[in-house]
Amino acid sequence: MYYYGEKVRLRPPEMRDAALFVRWLSNPAMRRYLSLRYISEAHEGPWLERLIRASSGPTPSEIPFVIEERLTERPIGNLTLRAINWRDRHAELGIVIGEEELWGQGYGSDAMLTLLEIGFHWYNLHRIYLIVHADNARGIRAYEKCGFRVEGRQREAVFRDGRYIDLVQMSILAGEFTPRGLEG
């Protein structure tokens, strides 16, 4: 199934996407804010295969999508609802815009708003949260633009480039989200 935002189309991942994921996640500018230390197609292929299987059941633990430009259908990133807790109705959001030339052009925000609508209105989640490096000012601004609020901070939780970085936890509740009228 496809879901459409204003600038993006979300679709389920396919095995052919593994090479793209590796290319995106190998970019040092991207990896700066990720916990991944190593990525390869040999690693990513089996992981993606497990993810596709796990997302197809009646109560998936993760719901992944590939982000495509709406007009060209070119894959530009991925995002997911993961660590889904069906009893308490919450999940963690993760997003990567892999095509660096598209950073700062609204594709990430549009993809997040589309995923929030899916999570709140199709899957009946109550809370969606994320964790972001405190020095990722562009990411924090994008999340706030989508309605996320800071909940807390994990002090000096990540060691990177010879120093410790705080992690910021942000969330949005279903009642705080204004739907846009998702096409799907």
Domain-embedded: residue 184: no
pLDDT bucket at 98, cuts 50 / 70 / 90: confident
Average pLDDT, the chain: 86
181 domain-assigned: no
Domain annotation covers residue 108: yes
| CB neighbour list of residue 121: distance below 8 Å, 6 or more residues apart | 179, 182
Q: Give just the sign of the alpha carbon dihedral 87, 78, 10, 130.
A: positive
Q: Measuring CA to CA, which residue among 79, 98, 73, 102 is closest to residue 8?
A: 73
For residues 62 and 55, the answer to whether their CB atoms sit within 8 Å is: yes
Which domain does 71 fall in, by range?
3-176
Contacts of 91 (CB under 8 A, 6+ apart): 63, 81, 82, 83, 84, 85, 119, 125, 127, 128, 129
pLDDT of residue 41: 61
Q: Which long-range contacts (CB under 8 A, 24 or more apart) does 35-40 make?
A: 35/158
Using the Cα atoms of residue 67, residue 69, residue 74 and residue 77 in order, give the sign of their dihedral.
negative
Residue of 98 and 50 predicted with greater confidence: 98
On whether the CB atoms of residues 78 and 25 are closer than 8 A, the answer is no
Q: What is the pLDDT of residue 33?
A: 56
Q: Could you give the percent of the chain with pLDDT greater than 90?
A: 62
* Tens of pLDDT, residues 22-63: 776 665 655 555 655 556 566 666 766 777 776 776 678 899
Q: How many CA atoms lie within 13 A of 18 on its CB side?
A: 16
Domain for residue 48, yes or no? yes
Position 112 in a domain: yes
State yes or no: pLDDT of 100 exceeds 90: no
- What is the predicted pLDDT for the residue at 18? 80
Q: pLDDT category, 1, cuts 50, 70, 90?
A: confident
Residue 64: give its domain's CATH number: 3.40.630.30
- Overall number of domains in the chain: 1
CB 118 within 8 A of CB 91: no
Report yes or no on 30 lying in a domain.
yes
| DSSP 8-state secondary structure symbol assigned to residue 100 | G
- Measured in degrees and rounded to the nearest 5, phi and psi for residue 133 equal -65, 135
Q: Within a domain: residue 161?
A: yes
What pLDDT, on a 0 to 100 scale, did the predictor assign at position 84?
A: 95
Please compute the mean of the pLDDT values over residues 118-145 and round it to a whole number. 95
Is residue 182 in a domain? no
pTM across the whole model: 0.85
User: What whole-number percentage of the chain has pLDDT above 70?
Assistant: 82
Q: What is the pLDDT of residue 142?
A: 93
* Whether the predicted pLDDT of 180 surpasses 80: no
